[in-house]
Amino acid sequence: MRYLAVDFGSTYTKVTAIDAGEAKILGTANAFTTIATDVMEGFNAARELLHAHMGGEFIYDKLLCCSSAAGGLAMVAVGLVPELTAKAAKMAAEGAGAKVLRTYSYELSAGEQDEIRAIRPDIVLLCGGTDGGNKEVILGNARLLAAIDRPFSIIAAGNKSASRELEEILRASGKRYVITKNVMPKFGVLDIQHAQNCIRDIFIERIIDAKGLSRVQAMTDRPIIPTPLAVLMGCELLSRGSKTTPGIGDFMAIDIGGATTDVYSMADGAPAQDNVLLKGLPEPYSKRTVEGDLGMRYSARFLLEAAGEENVAALAGVSPEEVTAWVEKCTANPETVAPENSTERRIDEALARSAIAVSVERHCGVMEKTFTAAGEMFILTGKDLTATGNVIGVGGVVKNSLKPRFILQGAMGTPQTMLRGAMMPERPGFMLDQRYIFSAMGLVSQVDPELALTIMKKEIQPLPEGTHGD
């Protein structure tokens, strides 16, 4: 069996040729994604490059595809309480491979209604209230969403007591909608799988056509899924293993892009010490967060603002003015700019390390000290990832760098992050997805998990100590 795995990205279409009999990758190639004209042009160009690299045509038995073309799956999440149903909605959406552009809580205002209209999301995930609890807020928000003159789909995953009224409101809106089980049926209890399944179904039914991928879908008997979901599936397989072969255990994987930074943690995140109380919603073993303001090109200005100009300059060993000049250059030419000299390269590496540092701190849990009748205690909100075994770099930013270890070290806790209570990895090893295969292996895992696991263990290897710009 030979597989061709294809990732239709926002900038590049990446193809991976896989031979199941030899359990190896035969070749990879990429070409510009041609979403403005026809994605088949980019697909065919990538295949031609693959054939040139392999010295002949690659005949495949099965085509497997994922996509984040034209920005991927853009979503808005609406909940009731920020720390509860709104967070549950965001967790469900990001775990399904979506890019959550905004999260709203409580009753939507007229101004927020206008914001959603301007955002033009593909899907709005509408949540709110435990089963049998508050239903006025979710019904009011449904009416405001129904009145927005944009053709987005609505997934209602809130208080089941409001289902009948929601049905009436959403049916009258003329929008594509589905009502599914509550993401938080009881206080502090998560049930996000049903909402995630609905997100994937709508992606297949609606977004594929909107992004021009319907011709590709007709070429494969497997559904095209969001690229981040494919990466998440590959990560979980590598961590937990298959039915017969163990995985490598806990790790974090970080994918820095031009517009966003995605962080994946494969760990239960249980507290490493005893005197700890857990606060907030339970975190999933396989967790994904996406930071829409932390990218190397399209979001470079926001990244610099989040990281701090002086901090980036100190990391790069250059002046703040040189950092600002490079960021302005990246913003003006996000699709084509590349470092042309050692100064620009050092700034780019410092920005990449900063993107990892900020995004990992946001992804990890926070520990706070408190005092009780029993003495000093700690309260943990989110995952404790201090004992994470490895940090894996994904994507071209890390792969193409002369100093991948320097960039990945941004995931480690510092005295400053420790003061803020961030539970970041303390002494992880560093690994590299050298050929960007996580998405391809996530696709293969749907049909042959043993093959995908075998290839990942071959391909994703530790960075040796003392090398790669350590």
Average pLDDT, integer, range 40-66: 94
Domain hosting 64: range is 2-69+213-223
Do the domain assignments include residue 228?
A: no
Residues 240 and 252 both lie in one domain: yes
User: Do 144 and 98 share a domain, yes or no?
Assistant: yes
Last residue of a domain, one of 153, 188, 223: 223
Residue whose token pair is 């943990």: 380
Looking at residue 468, its pLDDT comes to 45
Q: pLDDT at residue 470 above 60?
A: no
Q: What is the pLDDT of residue 350?
A: 96
- At 113 the pLDDT is 96
- Considering its fold, how many domains does the chain have in total? 3
Q: 449, 21, 429: which is closest to 245 by C-alpha?
A: 449
Is residue 68 very low, low, confident or very high in pLDDT (cuts 50, 70, 90)?
A: confident
- The more confidently predicted of residues 392 and 276 is 392
Q: Which residue has the higher pLDDT, 145 or 211?
A: 145
Interstrand relation of 177-179 and 153-156 (parallel, antiparallel or unpaired): parallel
Q: Between these two residues, 364 and 258, which has the higher pLDDT value?
A: 364
- CATH at residue 61: 3.30.420.40
Q: Which of 190, 223, 256 is the last residue of a domain?
A: 223
Q: How confident is the model at residue 372 (pLDDT cuts 50, 70, 90)?
A: confident
Residue 39 pLDDT > 90: no
Q: Name the nearest CA neighbour of 266 among 144, 153, 425, 159.
A: 425
Q: In this structure, is residue 230 part of a structural domain? A: no
334 and 241 in a single domain? The answer is: yes
pLDDT exceeds 50 at position 387: yes
pLDDT tens digits, residue range 109-118?
999 999 999 9
Residue 205: count other Cβ atoms within 10 Å of its Cβ.
12
In this structure, the answer to whether residues 277 and 352 fall within a common structural domain is yes
Let me know if residue 229 belongs to a domain: no
Distance of alpha carbon 22 from alpha carbon 16, whole angstroms? 15
Tell me the mean pLDDT in the region 295-315: 92
> What is d(CA 317, CA 320) in angstroms, rounded to the nearest whole number?
9
Within its chain, how far is the Cα of 188 from the centroid?
24
Structural domain contains residue 358: yes
Tell me, yes or no, whether 193 and 329 share the same domain. Answer: no
Residue 231 lies in a domain: no
Please compute the mean of the pLDDT values over residues 24-45 and round it to a whole number: 88
- pLDDT tens readout for residues 140-182: 999 999 999 998 999 999 999 999 999 999 999 999 999 999 9
Check whether residue 456 and residue 408 sit in a common domain: yes
Edge-to-edge strand list for the sheet holding 429-433: 286-291, 261-266, 251-256, 390-394, 429-433, 461-462
301 and 356 both lie in a single domain? yes
End-to-end alpha carbon distance in the chain: 41
Q: Looking at the structure, do residues 65 and 95 belong to the same domain, yes or no?
A: no
Q: Average pLDDT of the chain?
A: 91
Q: d(Cα 97, Cα 225) in Å, to the nearest integer?
A: 8
d(CA 470, CA 468) in angstroms, rounded, equals 6
Predicted pLDDT of residue 371: 82
